Every structure is written in structure tokens, then in C-alpha cells.
Structure 1
């Protein structure tokens, strides 16, 4: 696994998210239209933007954690059980802290 390349990709991804978040914050800071129909649409759009902002911030945290793990030499190991995270999983989710088994366990316990 080439952690130099992964780190570069994660940093690129982080910059892209930061740009999107800045654009979202600008859009959320705009004044609402005086027309009530337009205002209703803008309010609905703001709710969507706020959801996107939350998701972006969560992804930024995950990326930061992954970059910390790269720097500490623990990247690619599950933070819960210490098992190696499969390369295919890391290619799909390069910021994941969990192996497949622990991710399944976390998902099922969050549904309970």
C-alpha cells in the first residue's frame, strides 16, 4: 500500500470538501427573498445545504483522523481490533478506521 499516494489523495479530497463547505457557508449567509413562495424554496434549499455541510464536516474529521493514522504508522489497521483493513476497502473508503467485521458490528449496534 502506497501511503504517500493515499495521503496526497486524502489531502486533495480535504481541500475539495473545504472549498464546497466555504461555498455552502456563503449560500447559507445570503438573505432570504421577500416573496413567501421564494422564501419557502430557499428555506428548503438551506435545509439541504445544512445536511451537506454536516456530512462534509464529518468526512473532514474522518480524513483528518486517517491522515493522523498515516503519520503515526497505524493507517490500514482497524482502530478497534487491530486487524489489517483490506486493500479493496481502503481503495473504496480511504479514510475508514474499521475493518469490515468491526464496521458491520458498529452498524448493527447503532441500529439497536
Structure 2
């Protein structure tokens, strides 16, 4: 099971890194000389920046989860040491705390 999770997490990291690379390519293309177009592009840049930040956070969380799988601490609450419910891990695979400690 844990090897399967590592594979799933690694695939997701690759997808997210591809997204980040696409965002970087979009920024590298430069901007339109038309002032009205530039306003729309700036709004687009804000959205792309937010998506990039979210992707990088998820990459880090999944990388940390892979480390926990490798050291045997995945699925164990970092606060109380109890098992994190399987249902919680299905919804939030990188969870580090059980639902009780997460509140």
C-alpha cells in the first residue's frame, strides 16, 4: 500500500511541476504593448501567481508525505501519535494530524 501511495504522490508531483513550468513559460512570453491588454494580463498574472504558490505548497506537502512513508510515520498524527483515519487521508493525503488534533 505505501509503495502505491508513493507512486501516486510522485505522479501528482510531476503533474504539479509541469503546471509550474507552464506558468513560468507564460511569464517568459512577455506582455502586450497595448495598455488595455496589459491590464487584463496583470490580472491573469495574479491568478497564475496564486496557482503557482498553491502548486508549490502541494508539491512540498506530498514530498513530506513520501518522506513519512519512507520512515514509517505516514498516517500517524504528529501531535498525539494516534493513527490518522483512513477517510481523512483519502480526502487529505498529506495530512500530518488526526482530525481531533487538527482542530
Q: TM-score, normalised by structure 1?
A: 0.88
The Cα shift of 1:97 comes to 1.1
Runs of 5+ consecutive residues of structure 1 not aligned to the other structure = 105-112
Residue in 1 that maps onto 2:47? 48
The Cα shift of 1:80 comes to 1.9
Runs of 5+ consecutive residues of structure 2 not aligned to the other structure = none
The Cα shift of 1:84 comes to 0.5
Residue in 2 that maps onto 1:29? 28
The Cα shift of 1:79 comes to 1.4
Query: Are 2:87 and 1:88 equivalent residues in the alignment?
Result: yes
The Cα shift of 1:94 comes to 1.1
Q: TM-score, normalised by structure 2?
A: 0.95
The Cα shift of 1:30 comes to 2.0
* Equivalences for residues 71-110 of structure 1 within 5 A: 71-104=70-103
